[in-house]
């Protein structure tokens, strides 16, 4: 089972959180480039909407100062009726353009998220096993789902509102300075205090969101792990212990989310308090000037309206501030994953090898997963094309490691692995894996039809799939399904027996027609009839192919051309069954212990 501890945090990757933060905003903006035409149209709409918002208080200022307090002569459009028509037109036009820009931005935002989600999934697909082994599956799932979704508001709302608000604030400040410079300075006396307040809270909020993302990744990983192992948990009555473990994670998440809930409930009222204080100061100062006849009522009205408009985006920012910080933390985490370029596998680098003969040679191979503890120690063997080699040994001897190395999933520290006399590091990994079919002990089936589980959506003729089903001895039970080869398989093949899953995996290997078959034989106890079918299927799979089998059954070992015995990462014996039995050594002792060799 995978650990639910997170990796992919900036400290682990060697990337400082501060550096990641600086890059994230710029990179998020770069995703807008393919949609620049839509964004430019939306930006033009925003400018016109801002102009409409700025015009409304000024129109009412003219009405108050020119027609209500001074009784200025009304001529043509310069009249109460004209101002009313103009105000109505500005409201209608501003509302229409606002609807247009919202629709354009929402569509562009969803297209960007689709692209980003695709990039995340593509990156995960090309991460090597050595990376996935040390990374929580929950952490990766969270990046592809929760973190991408957290950016939705950023793209569909915040970015365009930021553009709108900047120009609106600049327009408001300009209009206020034009009307009355002293009153403008009075209006903004509270602003520095408010921005200092936000700055002090910003770091704490972002740190808390990083904790939230880490914990939700652990929770996702814990849930996925427990759903996969629920049968085992129930068999061993482990529900109480797992519930306790989940409670610990859940309580930790509750604590950090409680802080965010408090911040959400605090920031917007705090922004409203600053706004009301500003309006109160403005009215107190303005009424004194009006009493002294040094300020017009219309200007004071326009100023109070502009201040309300000025604080509107700040209030919205306060309302969404925690969501924005969440989005930027998610962006940091997504780009941390996308930046794993040195980890990504290049499947098309190296020599092309359309079809291998299947000669396999290990020459003095040393390998360790952690650069410390050697799993394989000076391992050397040759398996000629078309022959079958069985690997036997106690658990932890290094058998499974050998099959992982043959497919190029890990890089050895010393020695060479040769196929057709060529170092596998020099062969295109795509060609290497196309020529090698690996049948794992734990069979994985997707929630697809039997046919698609065999083809894995590769272009394989239905007749080839049918032949593979027949050759793997899966035809008998597959034909018993209502839809036969097109029968849907439940998640992970849970409705099938262990033997049926094994036979479908054999059909998958045969259908892809590899030059080399690598089989980690299942240790599960199955009925004698199914075991006979599995043995026959293994013989069919191995026919005219090189086969490397991690063998657990004596029947499989007896039929092998070569038996390689491993102990503590070293080859201790090698030969066929008769030769090794005559030696009366390590292998013969294992055989005499029982019918299964593990």
From edge to edge, which strands make up the β-sheet containing 546-550?
436-439, 516-520, 546-550, 388-393, 562-567, 570-575
Q: Which candidate, 294, 271, 334, places its Cα nearest to that of 21? A: 334
pLDDT in tens, 419-467: 988 898 888 888 888 888 888 877 888 888 888 888 887 888 888 889 9
Contact 231, 495 (CB under 8 A): no
- What pLDDT does 598 receive? 52
* CA–CA separation, 349 and 597 (whole Å): 39
Q: Largest Cα–Cα distance of the chain, in whole Å?
A: 123
Long-range contacts of 88-96 (CB under 8 A, 24+ apart): 90/52, 90/55, 90/56, 90/59, 91/52, 91/56, 93/48, 93/52, 94/48, 94/49, 94/52, 94/53
- What pLDDT does 14 receive? 39
Contact 547, 389 (CB under 8 A): yes
Contact 335, 116 (CB under 8 A): no
Task: Give residue limits of the domains in the chain.
Answer: 30-338, 360-593
pLDDT in tens, 20-46: 555 777 788 788 888 888 888 988 988
208 pLDDT exceeds 50? yes
Q: Which candidate, 560, 558, 565, places its Cα nearest to that of 598? A: 565
Strand 414-419 versus strand 360-368 pairing type: antiparallel
* CA–CA separation, 260 and 200 (whole Å): 15
81 pLDDT exceeds 60? yes
Superfamily of domain 30-338, CATH level 4: ABC transporter type 1, transmembrane domain (1.20.1560.10)
At 88, the pLDDT band (50, 70, 90 cuts) reads: very high
Bridge partners of residue 363, in order along the sequence: 416
Q: What is the token pair recorded at 337?
A: 């994953």
Domain 360-593: CATH class, spelled out: alpha beta
pLDDT in tens, 523-546: 556 667 777 888 888 888 888 888
- What pLDDT does 358 receive? 80
341 pLDDT exceeds 70? no
* CA–CA separation, 350 and 424 (whole Å): 9
366 pLDDT exceeds 90? yes
Residue 392, CA atoms < 13 Å, CB-side half-sphere: 30
* Winning range, highest mean pLDDT, from 92-101, 180-189, 223-232: 92-101
Torsion of CA 417, 422, 426, 430, to 10 degrees: -90
Contact 504, 443 (CB under 8 A): yes
Q: With a threshold of 0.75, does the pTM exceed it?
A: no
* CA–CA separation, 406 and 444 (whole Å): 20
* Winning range, highest mean pLDDT, from 100-104, 214-218, 235-239, 330-334: 100-104
Q: Which helix (H) or strand (E) holds 537?
A: helix 528-542
3-class secondary structure, 392: strand
Q: What is the token pair recorded at 121?
A: 């999934």
194 pLDDT exceeds 50? yes
pLDDT in tens, 115-155: 888 888 888 877 777 777 777 777 788 788 878 888 877 77
- What pLDDT does 160 receive? 67
163 pLDDT exceeds 80? no
Distance from chain centroid for Cα 463: 37
pLDDT in tens, 286-315: 888 888 877 788 888 888 888 888 888 777
pLDDT in tens, 464-491: 889 988 888 888 888 888 888 888 888 7
- What pLDDT does 2 receive? 40
- What pLDDT does 4 receive? 40
Q: Is the dihedral of CA 377, 380, 385, 391 positive or negative?
A: negative
At 3, the pLDDT band (50, 70, 90 cuts) reads: very low
């Amino acid at each position: 089972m995978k650990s639910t501890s997170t990796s992919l945090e900036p400290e682990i990757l060697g990337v400082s959180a501060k550096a990641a933060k600086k890059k994230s905003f710029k990179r998020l903006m770069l995703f807008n480039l393919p949609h620049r035409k839509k964004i430019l149209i939306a930006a033009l709409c925003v400018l016109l909407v801002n102009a409409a918002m700025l015009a409304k208080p000024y129109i009412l200022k003219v009405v108050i100062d020119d027609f209500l307090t001074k009784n200025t002569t009304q001529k043509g459009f310069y009249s109460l009726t004209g101002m009313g028509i103009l105000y109505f037109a500005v409201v209608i036009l501003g509302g229409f353009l606002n609807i247009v820009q919202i629709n354009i931005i929402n569509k562009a935002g969803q297209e960007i998220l689709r692209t980003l989600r695709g990039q995340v999934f593509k990156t995960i697909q090309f991460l090597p096993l050595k990376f996935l082994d040390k990374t929580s599956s929950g952490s990766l799932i969270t990046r592809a789902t929760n973190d991408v979704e957290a950016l939705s508001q950023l793209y569909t709302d915040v970015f365009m509102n930021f553009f709108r608000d900047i120009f609106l604030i600049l327009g408001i400040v300009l209009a206020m300075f034009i009307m009355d410079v002293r009153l403008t300075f009075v209006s903004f006396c509270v602003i520095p205090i408010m921005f200092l307040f936000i700055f002090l809270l910003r770091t704490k909020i972002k740190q808390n969101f990083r904790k939230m993302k880490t914990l939700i990744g652990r929770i996702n990983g814990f849930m996925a792990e427990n759903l996969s192992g629920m049968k085992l948990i129930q068999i061993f009555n482990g529900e109480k212990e797992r519930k306790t473990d989940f409670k610990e994670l859940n309580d930790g998440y509750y604590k950090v989310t409680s802080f965010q809930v408090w911040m959400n409930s605090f920031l917007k009222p705090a922004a409203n308090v600053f706004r009301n204080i500003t309006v109160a100061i403005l009215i107190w100062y303005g009424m004194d000037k009006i009493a002294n006849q040094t300020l017009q009522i219309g200007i004071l009205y326009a100023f109070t309206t502009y201040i309300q408009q000025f604080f509107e985006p700040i209030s919205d920012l306060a309302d969404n501030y925690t969501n924005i910080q969440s989005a930027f933390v998610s962006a940091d985490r997504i780009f941390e994953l996308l930046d794993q370029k040195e980890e990504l596998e290049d499947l098309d680098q190296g020599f092309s090898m359309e079809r291998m003969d299947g000669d396999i040679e290990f020459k003095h191979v040393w390998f360790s997963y952690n650069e410390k503890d050697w799993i394989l120690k000076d391992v050397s063997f040759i398996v000629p094309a078309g022959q079958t080699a069985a690997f036997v040994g106690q658990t932890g001897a290094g058998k499974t490691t050998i099959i992982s190395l043959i497919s190029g999933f890990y890089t050895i520290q010393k020695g060479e692995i040769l196929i057709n006399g060529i170092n596998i590091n020099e062969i295109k990994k795509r060609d290497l894996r196309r020529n090698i079919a690996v049948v794992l002990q734990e069979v994985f089936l997707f929630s697809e039809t039997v046919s698609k589980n065999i083809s894995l959506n590769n272009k394989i003729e239905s007749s080839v799939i049918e032949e593979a089903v027949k050759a793997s001895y899966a035809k008998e039970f597959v034909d018993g399904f209502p839809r036969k080869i097109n029968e849907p398989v439940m998640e992970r093949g849970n409705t099938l027996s262990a033997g049926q899953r094994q036979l479908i995996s054999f059909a998958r290997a045969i259908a892809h027609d590899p030059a080399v078959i690598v089989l980690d034989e299942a240790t599960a106890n199955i009925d004698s009839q199914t075991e006979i079918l599995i043995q026959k299927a293994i013989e069919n799979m191995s026919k005219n192919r090189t086969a490397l089998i991690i063998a657990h059954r004596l029947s499989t070992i007896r039929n092998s051309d070569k038996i390689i015995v491993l102990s503590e990462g070293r080859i201790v014996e090698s030969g066929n069954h008769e030769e090794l039995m005559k030696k009366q050594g390590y292998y013969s002792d294992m055989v005499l212990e029982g019918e299964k060799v593990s």
